[in-house]
Amino acid sequence: MNLEDIENPLFLQNLSKKELKKLCEEIRQFLIENISKTGGHLASNLGVVELTVALHYVFHNQNDKLIFDVGHQAYTHKILTGRAKDFKNLRKTGGLSGFTNYDESPYDCWESGHSSTSISALSGFLLAKRNGNKEIGDVVSIIGDSSIANGMAFEALNFASTIDGERPIIILNDNKMGISKSVGALSNMFNMMRRLKFYRGLKRFLIKINPRFVVNWFHQVKRSIKGLIQTDNIFEDMGYDYYGPYDGNDLNDVIRALERAKISKSPCVIHFLTKKGLGYEKAENDELGSYHGVGPFDISTGKSLKIYEENEFSYSEIVAKSLIETRRKLPFILINPATMVGNRLIKFEKEFPQSIFDVGIAEEHAATMAAAIALNKQKVALLIYSTFAQRCYDQILNDIARRNLNVVMGFDRAGLIAEEGSTHQGIYDIAMLNSMPNITICMGKNLAETKALISYAFKIEGPVVVRYPKANEIYTSDLEVLDMRWQYEEKGSALTIISYGHDVMRIKRLINENNIDASLVNARFIRPIDKQLLIKIFDDGNPILVVEQVVKNGSLGQLISSYANEVGKKINLTHLAIDTDEYIIQASYNDLLNKYHLDNESILKEMKKICA
């Protein structure tokens, strides 16, 4: 079958089971070939091919709603809903989104780049249906074993089973992995349920040989039968009929289980075991999560097509290296919510296994636990993606900042993020943090300064956030940070430019290459601002240009304007940042810089305009 000819999933009804299995094989090969060229979420999508085909086969009414948690595992769903032809532009500027997307298809009924929202969304759909929306049929949430352990998912589980007159259907896609390996007590419970091979085999046999009314009768008495084999599980205690676990990569098993759920009149959880990365051996055998999200790669070797230069490192690698070096001198506890591979913490874990804790997709829990450690006079660090830090605003505000506790927080992926669209941008954290008391915010101009800031952060009183981008650079030599003062990178007489992060070095090159008569200030501590240097800058009377990859409201540029007003200084300030009312488009990094006038050409044009 030519997958690019698919317009909608209704054609599945005309296929035999044998043809459906063949389709799954073709989709899996299509995904491997295309993702190897474009990059994207590989392993998670390979694992749910049969499950997604079966979902569209069973829930084929045009009003049925399939709600994919996160949405990065919906590539097969995109193919079946007519978007295979767009995969050559996956995650590119103006191309196919790596997540579900309202604007792409009416079949994408829910979009979210952050996990654990699908059951809450399901609840909302069911309430809208009960309230008279005739365009809603069956509503199905598809959620992973790591995502369902998040607090928001449990809040929704607690509610969804109580909706009178409506029946939530929750698909638990259990592949033992989130981004990295699943952790925690709930993961241990799933391990126990997976191991009950006799129970699973017996149940599968009974379903196959008996008519449906007999199977339903078996289900009514299963609690007494299961009592001999396993204790009641948490889903049944919360009011759901629990089915499974089933082999989520056996198409026939999946279809039978989904058809049973479809005629059920009670809230139900259907538990499927899937193999993350199925069909691509290197992804199948990956226990770290290295093939969760990939760039373009060589299919035969599994290696990235990117060529790295000597001494080229990512900021994540350098921060992890700094934490290892710091830990060798100073005892501290390191907390990470489910991004061990992305934050490059595997080496830290090997060297200090008793000092690091992956808490799973539980950002709020991670922040409050860090606060309690600091409250008890122990050093603690929390590494988290900037976009996910938004999820624990309240915990950082009330549990960490309010008590001025010394928690060192590394915010990875700060600034504009390529290819991920509006949900994964690291442009809101400074505005968020600037609304809180006591917090120190800093960002290094290069790898060396970032490494030094991590080390220095452990010496500062109170909470400290070290921001760093998703980027690679050449590491040159070590340097040391001894204080919070800003530093001049260039001295000129016509203009003063203030920036921070790796934009500093980019602007420095622009000044030198174009002979711009400008001073360049590295505002490496965004908060507290360097008031002493700012007074000098104000008194010089030169125009000021502030450049930063964050939303304008709550930014450094606003802090500088506010301080000038506070001390009664009139200043001429131009601010290049991102309009707070705009959501970020999906695009390459350079295209994002161009779109929001933060590219080299726009900055140079502004410098020349001001100097003129």
* 324 pLDDT higher than 80: yes
Residues 463-517: pLDDT tens digits? 999 999 999 999 989 999 999 999 999 999 999 999 999 999 999 999 999 999 9
Q: What is the pLDDT of residue 224?
A: 43
> Are 394 and 401 spatial neighbours (Cβ–Cβ below 8 Å)?
no
* 130 pLDDT higher than 90: yes
Mean pLDDT, residues 78-106 taken together:
96
Maximum CA pair distance of the chain? 88
Q: What is the pLDDT of residue 187?
A: 56
Q: What is the pLDDT of residue 234?
A: 87
| Tokens linked to 313 | 């490192």
Q: What is the pLDDT of residue 441?
A: 98
Mean pLDDT, residues 600-611 taken together:
97
d(CA 611, CA 542): 10
Residues 561-588: pLDDT tens digits? 999 999 999 999 999 999 999 899 999 9
Residues 342-373: pLDDT tens digits? 999 999 999 999 999 999 999 999 999 999 99
Neighbours of 422 (CB within 10 A): 15
pTM given for the model: 0.90
Mean pLDDT, residues 544-553 taken together:
98
Angle, vertex CA 119, rays to CA 115 and CA 123, nearest 5:
140
Residues 14-41: pLDDT tens digits? 999 999 999 999 999 999 999 999 999 9
Name the pLDDT band for 554 (thresholds 50, 70, 90).
very high
Mean pLDDT, residues 592-608 taken together:
97
Name the pLDDT band for 256 (thresholds 50, 70, 90).
very high
Residues 165-216: pLDDT tens digits? 999 999 999 987 545 555 555 656 556 655 555 555 555 555 555 565 555 5
b/e map 176-191, b = 16+ CB within 10 Å: bbbbbbbbbebbebbe
Mean pLDDT, residues 385-410 taken together:
97
Task: Look up residue 563 and give its amino acid.
Answer: Y
* 446 pLDDT higher than 50: yes
Structural domains in the chain, CATH included, are 3-285 (3.40.50.970), 318-474 (3.40.50.970), 488-611 (3.40.50.920)
